[in-house]
Amino acid sequence: MARKYSTGKPTGQEPAEPEHGTMRDVEQLFGISRRVCEQKVRDGTFQSVVFSEAGSRKSTRLIYLDSVRRYLRRQQATQYP
């Protein structure tokens, strides 16, 4: 199920594109698998942040979606100069 993103400000326009998303969001928005996304985070291609509550074993990693967009633009530029 697709998530709906909102800026919280009713403007009568389409909601702004989100700045961050989970790996699942990256897969849904861009078609990039979780495995590839994990690789790109490890090698620094995709910027991300991990946050968790103090003492908690659970954490959430959010990917900076603009870093994914930049990667795709670079790929397109090298394939179609």
The owner of tokens 């910027």 is 47
Residue 4 scores a pLDDT above 80: no
Q: Give the whole-angstrom CA distance, residue 52 versus residue 74.
A: 32
Categorize the per-residue pLDDT at 10 as very low, low, confident or very high, splitting at 50, 70 and 90. low
Enumerate the domain spans of the chain. 20-79
Residue 12 scores a pLDDT above 90: no
- pLDDT of the residue at 80: 85
Residue 1 scores a pLDDT above 60: no
pLDDT in tens, 18-73: 899 999 999 999 999 999 999 999 999 999 999 888 888 899 999 999 999 999 99
Instruction: Walk across the sheet containing 60-64 and list its strands.
Output: 20-21, 60-64, 48-51
